[in-house]
């Protein structure tokens, strides 16, 4: 394996991590508020379709906004159903995913009937950060990325700051930990939870749009390939914390990038092994973190009861 | 209570209306006439015996998956792993059928090959379900996520299988296994269609589930979902419940894997699971976790898929994927309606009422007095939220 290949793999890692980071940060808010959004996969794929559609009409920025808008609309609908009509959020989440996967395929087939060439849009161009991009190895990996990657990094910081320093962040955590007490202290539980879900939906839509107009440039049905579930797993693994989410996203993206690029090299494993590794490792890490969290839970219970 | 009933009827009516509006809007958006679309849908399911047979064939896997999901869903164990379990069951069934057939020198009778396929499929699906059950019991790994991830691993394993040890020696456009021996195939129940004997299996399972529904074991699961500590005294521990319910769903899904290979395709294909896993959950809930309801819902879902194909050919512009959209809308609608039932099943209960299930079971670590107090607080809190959660 040459240095160039590793540079390509690592650069690809950051590019592939961006959509997971966006969706993961959004889901982080949702889970901190004590909720779960299983519709994230459906929101991402609708965002992916809206992204290409918007970009084909008015450039990449319109595409990103279209992705955000679609995710937001779906989250508003989901919030309405789950918190006004009191439907079970897991079932509704699965329904939203089914709906998103179906609707994106339906609209795509209407937009590009089979037999016609797929619509492609120019991806967001990479922008080197001036002289930094010329540093060997580190330059192309860290500083020669698309602006979306920098945006993802910025958003991580913002999410951390919001959680840590703002009234809203505190309210979200209070609602997630103990809704009854939070309500007694004057936090509007429903509204805080709804805001978290809307942030989650908007960022899931954005994450989907980043998949299509960030790296691929076109939409195909099922293009997200479970990335929404991966985002969910990452958030649980990272305990809803920005750093944890970032690490999880980087791990999955690295394995994915490795699988994409190292197939052509001397390592002769079946291609299915490469494709499965990211999911397998995610599962393994999920097991490890669940185990650790369980131990912590036991320890705290024992302390409190004696 | 009366207002609850009225609300439920209102909701049901609005869900039906929403489905019709969505379907109509989608058809109009495709530039077609909804009435022509409807006509195509009806023709798609009823214009020939073959089409009717297709509806039955499509309902078999969804029905079995949904029926065997009942215990898990009733206990509040949310397994989304049917897709992967179907795949593994199909692989083990195909492998076992070929192996046994070879043992008999290529002339094994049906009497041998059918049970072998059935048992191997069930074993494969069951084993695949025990893994997330183990992870959930031992380390509290969220079973929704683990089963979802395992689905992707199963799909990868299937892809590899179809290229290597089970690949057909012939040159084919899509990866597939060799054709099953003639004797292993399930014969057609209705001549001239693909409707096979597996349909009877659905009825058998439905009757079994119906009987089970009236047993004490079924009640224990309901208790487990609402009051785990009480269930513990009835003998329903968390590990036993999770293992047994997930095993049942895995066995069912594994059998579906065998049926799809032996009854429908005559060979193992990449598309063997084909979204049945998710439809199964939707159908189980749509059928209200009751056997008859589930069989009807499975027929409905299957008819929807077959009808959408008819709609596509009648209108020429409406893609058949409209069925998926409608299924999604239906699932969301069912979740809404279920919340207004008097005794909603554990899985469709609104959030905030399942707190008791989340606490760690560390009875031995707690002094007896505090344990009792603890339980009452949680009980009343859950009830308070239950009351407050309803408008």
Which residue of A102, A298, A302 is in closest CB contact with B325?
Answer: A102
Task: Kindly state whether residues B389 and B284 are assigned to the same domain.
Answer: no
Quickly state the pLDDT bin for A275 (edges 50, 70, 90).
confident
User: What pLDDT, on the 0 to 100 scale, is given for residue A103?
Assistant: 94
d(CA B249, CA B239): 16
CATH number for the domain spanning B181: value is 1.10.3470
State mean pLDDT over A129-143. 71
ipTM: 0.86
Asked if pLDDT for residue B310 goes beyond 90, the answer is no
Backbone angles phi, psi at A222, to 5 degrees: 60, 30
**Nearest residue in chain A measured CA to CA from B281:** A91
Task: Kindly state whether residues B324 and B382 are assigned to the same domain.
Answer: no
Task: Kindly state whether residues B215 and B89 are assigned to the same domain.
Answer: yes
| Per-range mean pLDDT, top range of A95-109, B17-31, B324-338 | A95-109
State mean pLDDT over A200-222. 91
- For A22-48, the pLDDT digits (tens) are 999 999 999 998 888 999 999 999 999
A219, A222, A223, A227: CA torsion to nearest 10: 140
d(CA A211, CA B390): 40
Domain that holds residue B152: 2-349
Backbone angles phi, psi at A173, to 5 degrees: -65, -40
Provide, for chain B, the percentages of residues in helix, strand and coil under a 3-state DSSP scheme, each rounded to the nearest 5: 75, 0, 25
- More reliable by pLDDT, A82 or B190: A82
**Nearest residue in chain B measured CA to CA from A86:** B350
Which residue of B319, B352, B381 is in closest CB contact with A109?
Answer: B319
Task: Kindly state whether residues B180 and B219 are assigned to the same domain.
Answer: yes
Task: Kindly state whether residues B170 and B222 are assigned to the same domain.
Answer: yes
Task: Kindly state whether residues B290 and B361 are assigned to the same domain.
Answer: no
Which residue of B30, B327, B389 is in closest CB contact with A98?
Answer: B327
**Nearest residue in chain B measured CA to CA from A291:** B139
Quickly state the pLDDT bin for B347 (edges 50, 70, 90).
low
Contact B287, B296 (CB under 8 A): yes
Distance, in angstroms, between A93 CA and closest chain B CA?
8
Asked if pLDDT for residue A227 goes beyond 70, the answer is yes
User: What pLDDT, on the 0 to 100 scale, is given for residue B211?
Assistant: 92
Quickly state the pLDDT bin for A292 (edges 50, 70, 90).
confident
Which residue of A42, A89, A96 is in closest CB contact with B351?
Answer: A89
Task: Kindly state whether residues B370 and B227 are assigned to the same domain.
Answer: no
Which chain B residues touch A87 with a CB distance below 8 Å? 332, 335-336, 338-339, 348, 350
Asked if pLDDT for residue B362 goes beyond 60, the answer is no
**SS3 of chain A:** CCHHHHHHHHHHHHHHHHHHHHHHHHHHHHHHCCCCCCCHHHHHHHHHHHHHHHHHHHHHHHHHHHHHHHHHHHHHHHHHHHHHCCCCHHHHHHHHHHHHHHHHHHHHHHHCCCCCCCCECCCCCCCCCHHHHHCCCHHHHHHCCCHHHHHHHHHHHHHHHHHHHCHHHHHHHHHHHCHHHHHHCCCCHHHHHHHHHHHHHHHHHHHHHHHHHHHHCECCCCCCCCHHHHHHHHHHHCCCCHHHHHHHHHHHHHHHHHHHHHCCCCCCCCHHHHHHHHHHHHHHHHHHHHHHHHHHHHHHHHHHHC
**Nearest residue in chain A measured CA to CA from B32:** A110
- For B52-74, the pLDDT digits (tens) are 888 899 999 999 999 999 999 88
- For B149-202, the pLDDT digits (tens) are 999 999 999 988 888 888 888 877 788 888 888 888 888 887 777 888 888 999
User: What pLDDT, on the 0 to 100 scale, is given for residue B370?
Assistant: 37
Percentage of chain A beyond pLDDT 90 is 38
Domains and CATH numbers, chain A: 3-122+144-301 (1.10.3470)
- More reliable by pLDDT, B347 or B273: B273
Which chain A residues touch B331 with a CB distance below 8 Å? 91-92, 94-95, 98-99
CA angle A147, A153, A157 (to 5 degrees): 140
Quickly state the pLDDT bin for B359 (edges 50, 70, 90).
very low
Task: Kindly state whether residues B248 and B368 are assigned to the same domain.
Answer: no
Domain count, chain B: 2
User: Cβ of B156 and A229 within 8 Å?
Assistant: no
Task: Kindly state whether residues B291 and B331 are assigned to the same domain.
Answer: yes
User: Cβ of B335 and A293 within 8 Å?
Assistant: no
Q: B287: helix, coil or strand?
A: coil
Asked if pLDDT for residue B101 goes beyond 70, the answer is yes
State mean pLDDT over B22-50. 86
- For B204-248, the pLDDT digits (tens) are 999 999 999 888 888 888 888 888 788 888 878 888 889 999 999
Task: Kindly state whether residues B191 and B164 are assigned to the same domain.
Answer: yes
Task: Kindly state whether residues B16 and B112 are assigned to the same domain.
Answer: yes
Task: Kindly state whether residues B372 and B231 are assigned to the same domain.
Answer: no
């Amino acid at each position: 394996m040459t240095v160039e290949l590793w540079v390509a793999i690592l650069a690809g890692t950051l590019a592939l991590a961006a959509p997971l980071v966006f969706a993961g940060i959004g889901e982080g808010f949702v889970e901190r508020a004590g909720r779960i959004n299983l519709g994230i996969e459906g929101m991402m794929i609708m965002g992916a379709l809206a992204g290409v559609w918007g970009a084909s009409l008015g450039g990449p920025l319109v595409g990103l906004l279209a992705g955000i808008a679609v995710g937001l609309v779906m989250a508003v609908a989901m919030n309405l159903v789950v918190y006004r009509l009191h439907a079970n959020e897991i079932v509704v989440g699965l329904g939203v995913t089914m709906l998103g996967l179906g609707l994106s395929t339906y609209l795509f087939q209407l937009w590009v009937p089979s037999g016609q060439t797929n619509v492609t849009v120019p991806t967001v161009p990479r922008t080197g950060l001036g002289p930094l991009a010329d540093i060997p190895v580190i330059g192309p990996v860290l500083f020669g990325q698309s602006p979306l990657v920098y945006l993802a990094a910025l958003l991580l910081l913002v999410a951390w700051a919001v959680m840590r320093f703002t009234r809203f962040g505190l309210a979200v955590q209070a609602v997630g930990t103990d809704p009854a007490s939070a309500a007694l202290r004057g936090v509007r539980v429903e509204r805080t939870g709804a805001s978290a879900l809307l942030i989650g939906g908007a960022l899931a839509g954005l994450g989907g749009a980043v998949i299509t107009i960030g790296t691929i440039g076109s939409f195909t049905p099922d293009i997200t390939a479970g990335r929404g579930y991966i985002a969910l797993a990452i958030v649980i693994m990272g305990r809803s914390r920005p750093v944890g989410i970032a690490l999880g996203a980087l791990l999955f993206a690295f394995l994915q990038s490795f699988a994409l690029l190292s197939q052509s090299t001397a390592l002769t494993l079946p291609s299915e092994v490469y494709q499965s590794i990211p999911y397998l490792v995610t599962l393994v890490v999920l097991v490890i973190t669940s185990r650790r969290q369980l131990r912590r839970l036991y320890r705290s219970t024992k302390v409190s009861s004696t | 209570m009366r207002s609850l009933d009225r609300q439920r009827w209102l909701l049901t009516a609005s869900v039906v209306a929403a489905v019709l509006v969505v379907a109509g809007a989608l058809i109009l958006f495709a530039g077609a006439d909804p009435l022509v679309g409807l006509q195509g849908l009806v023709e798609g399911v009823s214009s020939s015996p073959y089409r009717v047979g297709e509806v039955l064939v499509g309902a078999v896997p969804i029905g079995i998956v949904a029926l065997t999901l009942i215990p898990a869903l009733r206990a509040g164990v949310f397994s989304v792993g049917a897709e992967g379990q179907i795949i593994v069951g199909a692989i083990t069934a195909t492998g076992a059928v070929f192996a046994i057939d070879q043992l008999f020198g290529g002339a094994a009778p049906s009497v041998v090959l059918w049970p072998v396929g059935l048992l191997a499929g069930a074993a494969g699906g069951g084993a695949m379900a025990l893994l997330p059950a183990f992870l959930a019991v031992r380390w509290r790994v969220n079973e929704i996520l683990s089963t979802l991830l395992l689905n992707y691993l199963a799909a990868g394993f299937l892809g590899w299988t179809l290229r290597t040890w089970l690949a057909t020696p012939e040159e084919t456009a899509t990866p597939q296994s060799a054709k099953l021996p003639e004797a292993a195939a399930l014969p057609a129940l209705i001549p001239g269609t693909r409707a096979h004997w597996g349909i009877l299996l659905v009825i058998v399972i439905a009757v079994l589930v119906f009987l089970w529904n009236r047993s004490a074991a079924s009640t224990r699961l309901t208790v487990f979902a609402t009051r785990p500590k009480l269930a513990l005294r009835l003998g329903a521990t968390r590990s036993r419940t999770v293992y047994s319910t997930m095993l049942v769903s895995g066995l069912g899904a594994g059998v579906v894997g065998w049926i799809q290979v032996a009854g429908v395709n005559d060979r193992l294909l990449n598309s063997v699971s084909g979204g049945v896993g998710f439809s199964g959950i939707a159908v189980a809930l749509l059928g209200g976790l009751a056997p008859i309801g589930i069989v009807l819902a499975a027929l409905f879902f299957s008819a929807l898929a077959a009808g959408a194909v008819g709609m596509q050919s009648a209108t020429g512009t409406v893609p058949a994927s409209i069925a998926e959209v409608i299924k999604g809308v239906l699932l969301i609608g069912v979740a809404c309606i279920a919340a207004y039932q008097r005794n909603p099943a554990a899985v469709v209960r609104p959030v905030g009422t399942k707190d008791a299930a989340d606490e760690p079971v560390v009875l031995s670590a707690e002094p007896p007095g505090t344990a009792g107090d603890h339980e009452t607080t949680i009980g009343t809190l859950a009830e308070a939220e239950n009351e407050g959660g309803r408008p």
